[in-house]
Chains A and B, each alone.
Chain A
Amino acid sequence: MSNSFHIVVCGGIVPDPLQTLEPVIGPNGPALKNELLLPHVLDPWAAHALYEAAHLAKAHAGSKVWLVSLASKAKLQQVMMTVAQRVPLELVAVDGPSGGFTDSFEVAAALAGAIEAIPGLDRTRLLLLGGWESASRAAGATMQMVGERLGITEQFQGVDELTVGEDGSLRILERVEGGQHQVSVCSGPPAVLGWATGNLPEPANSPQIGMQNMRLILPALQKAKAAQVGAGCTFANVALPKQQRETRMVKDTPVEEIAREIVEWIVAE
């Protein structure tokens, strides 16, 4: 029996993590300062999920990969210029806010709605992949909620490895405490996998994949429905944590002296 999957990857977009992030409180609640100016990337762990999806699809003929994303069309388009060169995918875009201050429940509703509307999606072969936690809301909640809305009760989070057995079973490694992994076997799809980093390297840019993907990406963006997604709660305060130490600088000091001081510090109680 050949295993083929319908793999739906949910991925938001976030500011490139190396940008400076600051919150501002506006009339609609908190937001990121200059959010629209900041270069965005596909959410890092969701990106890993996407690469795993592509890897899986390649290994299992007849599989297909969709990327479902809730974001402003303009920003999503920019991110696609990079992502679309990496793996074959079909984009399902939902037009809405991509910031971290939106409510996971509401976002999950929008994403699940978009997934349910995918024509030809075979729920019995569905693997719902995403990032375990986003780099924005960072709560680890949305994927579970989307899964629940789609009736999927086999779910895994912090995934680093998925191996498909001959019989279609899924052997999954999830991160747990102490740097260890829990090993489970699920009989097969449907299942939700919220990925950590996995083990695959970032695929190189491919002009052919880019060209192939681009044909469908623009129509997908054009027909993106708007989603109303709010904060779902009241913010009393949002701030950057203040942690300032008095840094003592040790310069122009012999290596021996530095080493001694460090060893003293290490062994002290």
Chain B
Amino acid sequence: MEVDIVCVGFGPATGGFLHTIAPKLAEMETPPTVICYERADGLAFGVSGVATRARGIRASFPELDPAQIPMAAPIREENLLYLLDPTGASRRSVPVRMLDGIAGIARDNHAVELPWIPGFLRKDGGLVLSIGQFNQWVSEQLMMTGAVQVWPGMPVAEPLIEKGAVVGVRLADQNGEPGMDIRAALTVVADGPVGPVGRRLDEHFGVPPDFERNDWAVGSKMVVELPSDCPLAPGTVYHTIGFPEPDIFGFFYVHPGNLASVGIFVPSWFDSPVRTSYRYLQHYMMHPFLWQYLKGGKLRSWGAKSLQESGRRGEPWLVGNGYARIGEGSGSTNVLSGSGVDEAWTTGVQLGESVLELMPEKAPYTSENLKRTYVRRRREGWLDQESRVAENARNGFQRGFLTGLIGMGLAGVTRGRVTVHANSRASQDRVQPVERYFGGRIPAAEIARIDKQCRTDGVPLHDRLMDRVGWPKIPFDGELLVSHQDALLIGGKVQGAAGFGDHVRFVDHELCELCRRRICLEMCSGEAIAPAKDGGAPVFDREKCVHCGACLWNCDNIQFAAGGGGLHSAEN
């Protein structure tokens, strides 16, 4: 099939792109065909925080009234909290303990509200959003123009590359039928940091020198229905640091309608080999400061996604012959402010403006033309400037939590001129062996025993090790605190779409046989990866996979391809 422009993935980046070009296309006599294919079964099934300054979004919607977008609220109050550890189970270095001691003087509910929020974190005049509801709302506006088509439930497997140019995409095979080829003059690649099309382009065309994507995080969040007597108003924002582990940042945003988003980021520089996000998220919710608001609430939905935390260092070639990259997969996320949605939107707008510039010229979408329009706009805008400031902001975390905080502060305050230096390493190279990570807390012999038992029982290590170092058992109540498997059933159930093959595969089974670390079992957001009974490659269950991509950056031996299904919650 042939179209003029094909977009891969419908998120804020493609939203920004299509929103920019659609009105102009709607005016044309014979407009070009513009189609977007999105992997998820619905446009509302994305996952993200979101508390955003929304500069790009507001520029695109000058009359924006947040009340039009379900779950949106203007930010009215922002707080930055340092959370102490009431359980004593988290792993805290001596300097961090000292910090705890100082902070402890001013604490209330095991938390200290910092008197001031650094400018780079503040989201003044911004919005709290549900990315799912926002994306869906944007798609409604788009469909009304009649100028573009967006199709969910259509994963794109790979780009079509001929003679050094991208000439379109190939859709994923379904029901035993090979996926259709969609040829296009311009392929807009917006499939996020773990999208297969973007990664294939990196493989084929290479990456810029200094390109590096070592830093990642799993963002894991829940949407909670707050108890009816909760005093927090919509638009209340909490950023937190310090708990459940110093390296794990958290957030708590209040939406209208008595809903809240609460989540954590489990980063690749958190070197625990059993870094599971779900249980940590539950402990986070039960921190006394948060629990005072959440207790008695009800879980509405849960989701997880990988964030590319290398920011600008992870920027690939933005354009080539026949293609352009936008959004998080193009390295647009600002890792200093921890914001990505508005940045992704803005890259989409920039590409949209470029396409509108090239169209009347009837100029082909060559690398040159896209550079002089899109890349130029990108370099000139606030996005790139701020991204440069942020570029090395998180380096310090490679060396430790406090160093990381100091590094971020320095970067923020000096606008990127002074940063902490560190050699970043790939996640696989930094993660510590279990004995070392828990050294001093659990004797090696005991670890060996627990490991053996877990292998026999066919379960990951994280629960037993976390129990052992003092993390309290989660008191499941079936309402807010539910088992990991039950969370997959809430908000419409994680589903494996019919007709698609397994999209997660283990490449070298012998390697899996020998693997001691088995981090894939620990960190899979949906428990979709489970140990095989008699050793060998783990078993993958498509019906539990939320397509977060954490497996991709935790282990080199895992292939993560395009597939349908995943979350079915519209509220994340």
Contacts and interface: CB of A to CB of B under 8 A. Distances in A.
A214 B492 contact: no
Contacts of B151: 81, 85, 205, 207, 210
A211 B1 contact: yes
Contacts of B571: 37
A38 to B, nearest CB: 7
Interface residues of A, number: 26
B41 interface: yes
B153 A85 contact: yes
A38 B570 contact: yes
Interface string A4-42: 000000000000101110000000000000101111000
B180 A39 contact: no
Interface in A76-125: 77-78, 81-82, 85
Nearest to B37: A207
A31 to B, nearest CB: 14
A208 interface: yes
A74 B68 CA distance: 13
B42 interface: yes
Contacts of B143: 77, 81, 218
Given A214-B149, A218-B143, A207 B42 contact: no
A36 B152 CA distance: 19
Interface in A188-227: 202, 204-208, 210-211, 214, 218-219
A78 B10 CA distance: 14
Contacts of B86: none
A44 to B, nearest CB: 14
B1 A39 contact: no
B296 to A, nearest CB: 17
B488 to A, nearest CB: 11
Nearest to A81: B152
Contact of B154 (A19, A77, A85): A85
Interface in A51-95: 74, 77-78, 81-82, 85
B492 A16 contact: yes
Contacts of A214: 149
Nearest to B493: A18
Contacts of B144: 218
B491 interface: yes
B133 A37 contact: yes
Contacts of B171: 207
A37 B570 contact: yes
A266 to B, nearest CB: 28
Contacts of A204: 174-175, 177, 499
Nearest to A15: B492
B469 to A, nearest CB: 24
B490 interface: yes
A82 B490 contact: no
B498 A202 contact: yes
Interface in B444-500: 489-493, 495, 498-499
Contacts of A218: 143-144, 146
A142 to B, nearest CB: 26
B492 A19 contact: yes
Contacts of A206: 180
Given A16-B568, A82-B41, A218-B146, A205 B70 contact: no
Contacts of B153: 82, 85, 205
A208 B569 CA distance: 28
Contacts of A85: 151, 153-154
B175 A78 contact: no
B356 interface: no
Contact of A211 (B44, B149, B490, B499): B149
A9 B70 CA distance: 31
A206 B178 CA distance: 12
A74 B69 CA distance: 13
A100 B528 CA distance: 35
B35 interface: yes
B136 interface: yes
A74 B133 CA distance: 13
Interface string B547-559: 0000000000000
Contacts of B491: 19-20
Interface string B530-572: 0000000000000000000000000000000000000011110
B492 A39 contact: yes
B140 interface: yes
B290 interface: no
Given A37-B571, A39-B492, A74-B140, A207 B182 contact: yes
Interface in B140-184: 140, 143-144, 146, 149-154, 171, 174-175, 177, 180, 182
A249 to B, nearest CB: 12
B71 interface: yes
B80 interface: no
B43 interface: yes
Contacts of B1: 207-208, 211
Contacts of B495: 18
B43 A78 contact: yes
Interface string B368-407: 0000000000000000000000000000000000000000
Contact of A37 (B45, B71, B499): B71
A175 B143 CA distance: 40
Given A20-B490, A204-B175, A210-B151, A82 B570 contact: no
Interface in B30-49: 33, 35, 37, 41-45
B289 to A, nearest CB: 28
Contact of A207 (B139, B180, B300, B498): B180
Q: Which of A37, A206, A208, A218 has the most CB of B within 10 A?
A: A37
A217 B18 CA distance: 19
Contact of B140 (A18, A77, A205, A211): A77
Interface in B299-316: 300
B150 A81 contact: yes
Nearest to A16: B492
A18 B492 contact: yes
A27 B275 CA distance: 49
11 contacts: A16-B492, A18-B493, A19-B568, A37-B133, A78-B43, A82-B152, A82-B153, A207-B35, A207-B37, A207-B182, A211-B33
Interface of A: 16, 18-20, 34, 36-39, 74, 77-78, 81-82, 85, 202, 204-208, 210-211, 214, 218-219
Per CB-CB distance, the 4 closest pairs between chain A and chain B, nearest first, are A18-B493, A218-B146, A204-B175, A39-B570
Given A81-B42, A81-B43, A211-B33, 18 more contacts: A16-B568, A18-B489, A18-B493, A18-B568, A19-B491, A19-B568, A34-B257, A38-B492, A39-B492, A77-B140, A78-B139, A81-B139, A82-B41, A85-B151, A205-B153, A207-B1, A207-B171, A218-B146
